[in-house]
Every structure is written in C-alpha cells, then in structure tokens.
Structure 1
Amino acid sequence: MKKTRLLNPQLSGAIASLGHGQGLTVCDCGLPIGESVERIDLALTHGVPGFLDTLDVVLSETVVEEIIIAKEFIHVSPELYQQFAERIQLLAEEQGAPVKVVQVSHECFKAQSDLSKAVVRTGERTPYANVILKSGVAF
C-alpha cells in the first residue's frame, strides 16, 4: 500500500506523468469535460468528495507553479474562494516560491481545461469550484 495520502491509482498516475507546465484540472460536478482529455471521476454523490478535500490531496503530491481559475469564482463563491486562497498561500510557503494565480473568463477556463493532461471531477456543487494546476519542477 502507498505511504502517501493519495490512494487513487488513476489520479496518482496522472500526477506522476505531469511534465513541467502541463495542467491538471480539479473541478466541480458540473464542469463539462471534453472527450479528448482523461477523465478521473471521483464524484460519488453531491458534495462527496468535496473540492477542497480533493485539492488538498492533489496539492500534497504536486509541485505547482501556476493556477488558472475562472474570475467568476471570486465573486460568485467568495467563501470557498477564500478557503482556496488560504491553501495556495500555504502551498507557496511550503514550496518556497510564489504560485501565480491567473484569472480568466469561465468560457476561457472551460477551453483551457480541455488541454489538461487530466480532469478530476469531484462531487462539489459550489459554482465555479474549478482550478487548473500547472505543474512546476521539484528542482
């Protein structure tokens, strides 16, 4: 059995295969996922697993240099956004480098998520609870 937090083999493999600058999307249960991108569907029921729970595990396994969000996330779901922002600040401290957060329109976000290495679908129901994590390097 693996020693680290992440137990899902499909998600573990997707993270292990990320190259510098490649994206991994973590999304709510409503984001459309293109046919050409790998879908890692973790959703069990509404809210399970949650966006933040999933993000915490993914961030524990991934070097992140940039994050893309829909600008609507900040205004439509401010409480969840604040919890997300706190995690990103901690991530930057742990990595010893800033993590750039890029805001785009939701339409642009959907198009960019289709370019990700994989899309991880959670059971989250909070609007715009979606991020694209751009892989950094560990050296």
Structure 2
Amino acid sequence: MGLLKNLDPLLTADVLHILRSMGHGDKLLICDCNFPAAEVSTKTTTKKHVIITTSLPPVIDAICSVLPLDYFVEDRVQYMIPDAGLELPPSSVDVKNLFTAAIKKHSDTSLSGVERTSFYKESRKCFAVIQTMERRPYANLILQKGVVGPDGNDLKP
C-alpha cells in the first residue's frame, strides 16, 4: 500500500472509491462495530460494506477532510440517539463530543439526533456503509454529500 501526501491513510482505496462515486444528495452511513452493518449494507444503493479497524472519531475526521456536506438540506449530518424515554450512556456522550469536534474541524454545520428505530430505517437508504471498530454505543452517523463549489469549499446557498 502506498501512501499519498496530504491524504489521511484511513482513506483507503475502497473508501475513496465510495466517496468519489457518491453524488450530490447521496448519504453515507458510518457506524460502530455493534451496528448491523452487513445486513444494512444489503439494502443500500451499492451494497458496499467497508470495515476500517479503528475507532470512529478519526474516521469521521478523515472522511470530513474530503467529503463536502450538503448545505441545501437541514439534516446533512444525522446521528443515532436512544428511542424516546431512554438516555444516552456516558461513554456515548464522550464519543458524540469527539465526532462532533471532528466534523466541526472541517465544517460549520449542526448535527441532528435521530431516534434509534428511525435511524435504522434511514440507514437502509444510504449509498454505502463504512463500519469502524468503535465500541462505544450510539456511534453511528449519516452524512449527506454536498457539492464542491468553484472555490474548492462546500457549496452553500
């Protein structure tokens, strides 16, 4: 495997192929190791399931360093939260803070919480699945791809 300059090594050829193949409006599921990724991937557009053997925050950082987000929709970044009446475990709060910081490093966007049951339904509408080895629960996100503008940054209305 040869490394490229200024490109995070977590962005493997398989991951880069998925990101480059996605079009404006396509969604990408990035999930933890407990998520039923193999089953969900069979329902996605490409049926692709890539595993990256590291925790979720560095994967989010790497992907967000190259993936434009869709500023033409409100919920461009969605993350899983417990169903109504249940609370996020403390370790999930920790990982949420880390993946939020990773996203905000590359984008000035907000994140939307989606209850677990609804999140599973949304995940099956994604383009592909990238599964991490993250063990903290509720470390699951959906990113909606936007457009790279003429200035090389995320295109905003």
Scaled by the length of structure 2, the TM-score of the pair is 0.74
1:5 aligns with 2:8: yes
Higher relative contact order (CA 8 A, sep 6+): 1
* Higher radius of gyration, 1 or 2: 2
- How far apart, in 1, do the equivalents of 2:132 and 2:103 lie? 19
CA RMSD of aligned residues (A): 2.0
1:87 Cα deviation (Å)?
2.2
Which secondary structure does the structure 1 equivalent of 2:29 belong to?
strand
Gaps of 5+ in 1: 44-48, 93-97
1:114 aligns with 2:124: yes
Number of residue equivalences = 129
Q: Is the 8 A contact 2:60 2:102 kept in 1?
A: no
User: 1:26 maps to which residue?
Assistant: 30
Q: Which has the higher helix share?
A: 1
Which secondary structure does the structure 2 equivalent of 1:68 belong to?
strand
Equivalent position to 1:56, from 54, 58, 61: 61
1:80 aligns with 2:95: yes
Q: Is the 8 A contact 1:31 1:110 kept in 2?
A: no
User: 1:131 maps to which residue?
Assistant: 141
Q: CA offsets, 1:16-74, max 9 Å, x none?
A: 0111111111100111122233111224xxxxx110111111111211231011123x8
Moved over 4 A (4+): none
Q: Which has the higher strand share?
A: 1
Gaps of 5+ in 2: 71-75, 150-157
- How far apart, in 1, do the equivalents of 2:28 and 2:63 lie? 9
Q: Is the 8 A contact 1:32 1:110 kept in 2?
A: no
1:136 Cα deviation (Å)?
1.0
Which secondary structure does the structure 2 equivalent of 1:116 belong to?
coil
* Aligned-partner residue type, residue 80 of structure 1: V
Scaled by the length of structure 1, the TM-score of the pair is 0.82
Q: Is the 8 A contact 1:68 1:103 kept in 2?
A: yes
* Aligned-partner residue type, residue 125 of structure 1: R
User: 2:78 maps to which residue?
Assistant: 68
Equivalent position to 1:14, from 18, 24, 32: 18
Equivalent position to 2:114, from 81, 99, 104: 104
